[in-house]
Amino acid sequence: MNPVLFRFRNSLALKVILSTVLLSVAVIYFAGSALNSQLSAGIKKVNLQSSIVEARSTIFSAQYRLLLVQGDKDVAVRKVISDVISSATSLTSNENAREVVFLRSPGNTMQNDYEITSNLVDPISIPEFLSSKVRKSSDIGVSYVNIRYISGLEIPGLAIGQKISIPNAGQYEMYMLFSLANQNITLSLIQRYLFLTGISLILLIGLITWLVIRQVVRPVRHAALIATQFTSGNFSERLEVRSQDEIAMLGTAFNEMAESLEQQFARLQNLSRVQQRFVSDVSHELRTPLTTLRMASEVIFSAREGFDPIVARSAELMIAQLDRFERLLEDLLEISRFDAEVAVLDAIDFDVVALARQCADDLSLVAKEKSTELRIYSIADSVNIRGDIRRVARILRNLFSNAIDHAEEKPIAITIIASEEDVAIGVRDFGIGLDESTLYRVFDRFWRADPSRSRTRGGTGLGLSIALEDARLHNGELEAWGRPGKGAHFVVTLPREAGAGISSRLIKLQPDDYRA
């Protein structure tokens, strides 16, 4: 993953700061654009109005002075035009330039030519549409243009014109050209300052947000670190509370919760140790009287032929119940080893296919009594793995026995699939099945899907729980699937080298034969 994206996804402060900055950029952009638009429109409007006033005055004065030389010689007319241009134009820089242009109107056929421009302004600076507008109206015409000079210089400007009459020369058009260079410089300066102000505001908002978030995120981050230590069993850490604000209230509540958890966890640990010790001690203490009882019962059982039939049957029942009791004690001892984390693997190389066939043969009489059979399907005749053969055999026997108990006189399919790293064994029965809501409890200790049926068959309710622990001791996994009336499917996946960990699920948990 990209380091920047990883940092963004894992940092609340960065998310808040970035979100705030982005929103601030949007707000400042729209506000700055609106302000710039208003300022620009205001400056242009003021400049336009002042230019129109000045142009009207200049054109009116020129027309009046030309009327005064009506009938005079050409020299007098030219002198008036020259005086108008001299008084109306500027010899300053191009930023403040004002120019005058006299153009002959189309259709004017009189011989005298008074077309003239100030400071070598190119007449093409006046666009045709503006000239046409001036000729057709008695009022002034206004347009933004580029003021071009014969030298090639070009500056932005404003053209304001009106038609006038020159004595002995007919209809002409007089234009005042005002440079907008200063206006554009002012607008650029405003835009530049608005941009710098916006950048400064964004940086300031980001800094303020960082300072505020830092005050909030630091205790939250500290709380997250302490909570992480809680997961490892260390409940001694506490948050440091320095103030009385909302964060301090959160820290106080967090510390109280941690103290409560520490106390509850200590009680549970103590209770768990007592329970484990009790199970272990009771299991060990019962083995001695159980051995004595078995020896006595075997003596009685061996002499049952001479007993009354009722007494003989009682001897048989006693032997059966002692067998069940012994299995329960063995299971309890194994559970206590798992709880105490002292269970170890005695790893050897063995053939899991041969082991599965042997377990099936051992249970064949039980399967026959239940009118079912165990059918083994393997991708190879031999699959060698390294693990604890006793524990793997116990896993298989528990799964096979469970399937036989619930097969409802239907065949049981055992599938064995192996890869270079893993081996998977699936046990599929087509009996009463399991409800989806109870699947998560299937590996709980002493839990039975149907308590009444299990008790008639003498189950302890520990078989699947022990099988799961045995599988996990190999770094493997045991999973269950079932549907009411559709049977059940148990899949155990083991690494071919005990403790290596499984890399894939070779058998799908939901069987292919299932149709909802």
Neighbours of 360 (CB within 10 A): 19
pTM as predicted: 0.47
Q: Which CATH number fits the domain that encloses residue 323?
A: 1.10.287.130
Same domain, 470 and 488: yes
485 vs 319, higher pLDDT: 485
Contact 350, 423 (CB under 8 A): no
Residue 264 inside a domain? The answer is yes
* 162/23 same-domain check: yes
Residue 231 maps to a domain? no
Q: Could you tell me if 181 and 295 lie in one domain?
A: no
How crowded is residue 316: how many other Cβ atoms within 10 Å of its Cβ? 12
Total domains in the chain come to 3
**The domain that contains 363 carries what CATH number?**
3.30.565.10
The amino acid that residue 435 corresponds to is D
Which residue in the block uniquely carries the two structure tokens 């699920």? 505
The domain in which residue 389 lies consists of 348-495
pLDDT tens column, 323-373: 777 777 776 677 776 766 667 788 899 999 999 999 999 899 889 989 999
Task: Considering only residues 457 and 246, tell me which one the structure prediction assigns the higher pLDDT.
Answer: 246
Instruction: List the alpha helices (DSSP H) in 70-180.
Output: 74-88, 128-136
CA Rg value for the chain: 51
Is the residue at 194 inside a domain?
A: no
Mean pLDDT along residues 119-128 = 91
Mean pLDDT across the chain: 83
Comparing 198-202, 231-235, 508-512, the range with the smallest average pLDDT is: 231-235
411 lies in some domain: yes
Looking at the fold, whether 322 and 384 belong to one and the same domain comes out as no
Average pLDDT on 441-459 reads: 61
Considering the domain boundaries, does residue 515 fall inside one?
no
The pLDDT, as a whole number, for residue 129 is 93
Which of 427, 426, 428, 430 has the alpha carbon at shortest distance from 408?
Answer: 430
Residues 75 and 176 in one domain: yes
* DSSP codes joined into one string, 280-312: HHHHHHHHHHHHHHHHHHHHHHHTGGGS-HHHH
Domain boundary among 141, 159, 186: 186
Residues 93 and 20 in one domain: yes
| Domain contains 230 | no
Instruction: Examine the domain organization and report whether 27 and 143 are in the same domain.
Output: yes
Considering the domain architecture, whether residues 302 and 268 belong to the same structural domain is answered as yes
pLDDT band at 279 (very low <50, low <70, confident <90, very high): low
Lowest mean pLDDT, pick from 116-130, 261-275, 460-474: 261-275
Q: Residue 215 has what pLDDT?
A: 75
- Domain of 145: which CATH number? 3.30.450
Same domain, 317 and 376: no
pLDDT at 309 exceeding the cut of 60:
yes
Residues 359 and 479 in one domain: yes
Q: In degrees rounded to 5, what are phi and psi of residue 103?
A: -125, 140
d(CA 392, CA 353): 11
Q: 369 with 448, same domain?
A: yes
In a domain, 241, yes or no: no
Cβ count near 66 (within 10 Å): 23
Q: What percent of the chain has pLDDT over 90?
A: 33
Q: Is the pLDDT of residue 155 over 50?
A: yes
Q: Which of 205, 338, 346 is nearest to 272 (CA)?
A: 338
Using pLDDT thresholds of 50, 70 and 90, give the confidence band for residue 48. Answer: very high
pLDDT in tens, 379-437: 889 999 999 999 999 999 999 999 998 888 899 999 999 999 999 999 999 998 888 87
329 and 408 inside one domain? no
Does the residue 171 lie in any domain? yes
* Residue 167 tokens, joined: 């004595």
d(CA 493, CA 282): 34
